[in-house]
Amino acid sequence: MQQSFDLFFASSNSHKYQEAKKILDLFGIKLGFFKSDLEEIQSNSLKDIASKKAKDAFSKCKKPVIIEDDGLFINSLNGFPGPYSSYVFKTIGNKGILDLLKNNRNAKFVSIITYYDKNFLESFDGKLDGTISKYQKGKGWGYDPIFIPKNSKKTFAELNDKNELSHRYKALKKFSNWYLHK
């Protein structure tokens, strides 16, 4: 039996898809997974990167698609790693980030959800302030074991309700409000 989807989430990261699917289920949007390595331009703009990826994804799957691009922006590092977060994680990981930091550990996560269907190219952002922990805590993926959201003492990796407050949730909520009324 074939399942129908409202749109696809294109990514090579199944963790991002699983989070997005759980969040969009709350809004009644059925999300399929289009696993694909997408062209990622080098840019200081998450929105520009996401827009290019969405167009690339649509050209491959020929269906309405969303992609998500996000970045961890650390104040004391002038916003680094920002749009280069994926590459930095692959090269130096959480330990490398922790080694770079001294006292000012303020940071924010930013998520951009971009939708494309040939008629519409729309982007939605979500931001969440927080801090970087001194040690990795919890079993999560990406930067989750080192990012502590504002008003919390736990990292994303330690939280049970991450999907209810994350930067990704905020961006997907904005997208859902638009998508369900477009």
**pLDDT tens for residues 52-110?**
999 999 999 999 999 999 999 999 999 999 999 999 999 999 999 999 998 899 999 99
Nearest to 148 by CA among 161, 164, 132, 128: 132
Catalytic residue among 56, 69, 125, 144: 69
* pLDDT beyond 80 at 2: no
Give the model's pLDDT for residue 170. 97
Q: Per-residue pLDDT tens for 153-164?
A: 999 999 999 989
Q: Per-residue pLDDT tens for 12-58?
A: 999 999 999 999 999 999 999 999 999 888 899 999 999 999 999 99
To which H or E segment does residue 149 belong?
Answer: strand 147-149
To which H or E segment does residue 31 belong?
Answer: strand 31-35
Give the 3-state secondary structure of residue 170. Answer: helix
Nearest to 116 by CA among 41, 42, 34, 43: 34
Give the model's pLDDT for residue 1. 38
Give the model's pLDDT for residue 142. 93
What is the rounded average pLDDT for all residues in the chain? Answer: 94
Give the model's pLDDT for residue 165. 92
Distance CA 150, CA 136 (A): 17
As a whole number of Å, the end-to-end CA separation of the chain is 29
Q: Is 48 a catalytic residue?
A: no
Give the model's pLDDT for residue 3. 61
- All domains of the chain in start order, with CATH: 7-179 (3.90.950.10)
In terms of pTM, does the model score above 0.85? yes
Determine the average pLDDT of the residues in 143-158.
Answer: 96
CB atoms within 10 A of CB 105: 17
